[in-house]
Amino acid sequence: MLDPISVASIPLFPRFNDVDLSSATGFFYKSGDNVFLVSNWHVMSGRNPNDGQSLDTKNGSIPNRVALFAHKTTIGHFRRDLWLSLIDDNGRSLWRQHRDHGQNVDIAVLRVPEIGQGSEIKFYCVNEQDSEAPLSTRVGADVFIVGFPKGLALQEILPIWKRGTIATEFSFPVGGLPIFLVDSATREGMSGAPVYARSVGIALMDNGGVEVSPSVKTRFLGVYSGRYGADDEFSAQVGRVWHKELIEEIIVDGVEGRFDLR
């Protein structure tokens, strides 16, 4: 039996036409009657959010579509030939970014068209899983980053669970932005991965209490977007996680994806 969290993360491949530019992680999120694909701003834009320059240092290419794998209604079966446009026929971005923070918030959302939402494909949306348990988010609490490091996947579609610990005060902004940091040995390809607190048996709750139960408790915390010192694998392995509330903010009040050169 597959863990419902394992089927929520999917591998993504940003492309320029039919050329893969990179690999990343994404997940589906339900809001109202719509399903959205969530990943990082830098994944969907193909640009470095710090300066707006293309991440494809060789050719300067920018993705105009994203290829993805998606589960079918029968667990264990999936499609690998799906893709979504990132840019419309007029060259405008179809994905959306945060209205106030723009590219400074490294999250982007893309509405999944009605086509493809038929009976064959099953979207395991993160917020439709049992992932709202009030588990502790104190410094030192364990978290799991569920994605595809360097494109690694089990049977092509199932993710790797990388353990980490919360490294900063959860509710306090870092650099004035709504993120918290995690201490974890993550790798390229995990950008856009959902991050969870998870407990089995004895659970420390956010109110300081302890619950003992045979059930698994899960809390969705946010979106992973790479680590500090990423240019050096021996640098401090501290990653950034954007708070989950930003997803709904972008869906409800986001703007067309764009960038500034800095």
* CATH number for the domain harbouring residue 90: 2.40.10
Instruction: Using the predicted structure, report yes or no on whether residue 117 has a pLDDT greater than 70.
Output: no
Please write the tens of the pLDDT for every residue from 234-259: 456 889 999 999 999 999 999 999 99
Question: What range defines the domain where residue 135 resides?
Answer: 130-245
**Cα four-point dihedral sign 138, 26, 73, 118:** positive
Please write the tens of the pLDDT for every residue from 126-157: 999 888 889 999 999 999 999 999 888 888 88
Residues 117 and 135 in one domain: no
Residues 25 and 94 in one domain: yes
Per DSSP, the three-state class of 30 is: strand
166: tokens are 């919360």
Interatomic CA distance for residues 219 and 17, integer angstroms: 37
CA-closest candidate to residue 5, choices 130, 148, 123, 109: 130
CA-closest candidate to residue 145, choices 99, 191, 78, 97: 191
CA-closest candidate to residue 191, choices 232, 219, 171, 162: 162
Per the structure, the count of domains in the chain is 2
CA-closest candidate to residue 227, choices 216, 240, 209, 215: 240
Tell me the pTM. Answer: 0.93
Domain annotation covers residue 1: no
Residues 239 and 134 in one domain: yes
Residues 72 and 176 in one domain: no
